[in-house]
Amino acid sequence: MKYQITFWMLVVAAVILLAGIAIMAGSIQTLLKSKSFQDKKKKNGGDALKTVAVLLMGLLFSGSAFAGGTPEQENPIFEPEMSDIIGMVIVDVLLLFIFIYFQKVFNNLAQELLPAKALKERSPWFKLNKVLTDAVDLEDEETVMMDHEYDGIRELDNNLPPWWKWGFYFTIGFAVVYLLNYHVFQYGDLQYEAYQKDMKIAEEQKQAYLATLSLSVDETNVTQLTDPAEVSKGKSIFKANCAICHGDNAQGNTGPNLTDEHWIYGNDIVNVFKTVKYGTSNGMKAWGDDDLLPNEIQQVASYVMSLHGTFAPGGLPPLGEKRESVTPVTE
């Protein structure tokens, strides 16, 4: 898998080289068929025949390289090994040499056969430059020279460079697609909606993260919640589960008064959390087994701690040790 990209890049390079070789071979063929070459051949038969023989060999070789290059592409689940990479590198280097050789042959032939200007016009660089810039040759500049002259500075009237025009057309096309996408069909989200969506996703991720955090609450990391929203959640949990034994206002019933300043099992959040989670042997069940989630225990324990010293009316007499206050919140 890890060689996949490298391998296919090498294959692509090989294909490009093969295409280059094929183009070169085609050009050489055209040169060989040209009249001037036929004339030369008559004068200088031996050399030309040799060249043709070499060329034909080259063509055959490139043909077989083509045939060898393709089967690998046909198998989509091919898993290249290091050896395949090395093989491909060798193929690429060979092809590169063939390409360079062909180019040399072509140049030699062309130099013999073609006038300098025609030769220049055949060079790929010249063609590329022509296609991209459409600039008039230095020698022909007179044809596009404008009439005016300022302090000896004269102006040419070249065509706009095609590369620039393509860019311009592209921006027009892009604008149309953009307009249709965002404003007409409204497939895409405008900045504000994209922002809103991202914020929503971020909020969900944050909630999910907080949920995992609160689910991982235990006696080693529990803190007392003071956020009123959390404490009021704790209050509803208390009403639903604990009021039956501890009284609606936690003043005590079969379970002890939780609003006085006396605690049997300690008054810091870790102790209260543990009492609720694991229960006691004396009538308090373990709420952490199936009934409450860790964060719910944290909430209800925080609510219970917020009741310290509130002395609900009708409270049962104190049990356990007197504590002045609950131990401060540990964050």
The residues of the shown chain that bind ligand HEC, judged by CB under 6 A, are 238, 241-242, 244-246, 254-256, 258, 263-265, 272, 275-276, 280, 282-284, 287, 300, 304, 320
In the complex with ligand HEC, the residue whose CB is nearer, 69 or 320, is: 320
How many other β-carbons are positioned within 10 Å of the β-carbon of residue 151? Answer: 4
**Burial profile 55-76: b = 16 or more Cβ within 10 angstroms, e = fewer:** beebbeebeebeeebeebeeee
Q: Which is nearer to ligand HEC, 66 or 265 (CB)?
A: 265
- Which residue type occupies 222? V
CB of 235 to ligand HEC, least distance (A): 11
Q: Looking at beta carbons only, is 214 or 280 nearer to ligand HEC?
A: 280
Q: How many CB atoms lie within 10 A of CB 50?
A: 10
Give the burial class of 289: count Cβ atoms within 10 A of its Cβ; 0-12 exposed, 13-18 middle, 19 or more buried.
exposed
**Whole-angstrom Cα distance, residue 258 to residue 162?**
86
Of 58 and 288, nearer to ligand HEC (C-beta) is: 288
Is 87 or 266 the residue whose CB approaches ligand HEC more closely?
A: 266
**Short-list 325, 331, 304, CA closest to 221:** 331
The tokens of 96 are what?
Answer: 């590169």
Measured from the CB atom, the residue of 99 and 263 that comes closer to ligand HEC is: 263
Q: Are 119 and 110 in contact (CB under 8 A)?
A: yes
What does each C-alpha distance from 66 to 51, 82, 163 come to in angstroms? 22, 22, 33
Question: How far does Cα 211 stand from its chain's mean position?
Answer: 28
* Beta carbon of residue 272, minimum distance to ligand HEC (angstroms, whole number): 5
Q: Is 308 exposed, middle or buried (0-12, 13-18, 19+ CB in 10 A)?
A: buried
Minimum Å distance from CB 191 to ligand HEC?
48
Q: For residue 276, how many other CB atoms are within 10 A of its CB?
A: 26
Shortest Cβ distance from residue 294 to ligand HEC (Å)?
13
Determine contact, residues 128/162, Cβ cutoff 8 Å.
no
Closest separation between CB of residue 4 and ligand HEC, Å? 57
Query: Closest CB to ligand HEC among 233 and 246?
Result: 246
**CA atoms within a 13 Å half-sphere pointing along the CA-CB vector of 149:** 4
**Which of 102, 263 has the CB closer to ligand HEC?**
263
Q: How far is the CB of 267 from ligand HEC (least distance, A)?
A: 7
Minimum distance from residue 290 beta carbon to ligand HEC (Å)? 12
CB of 207 to ligand HEC, least distance (A): 25
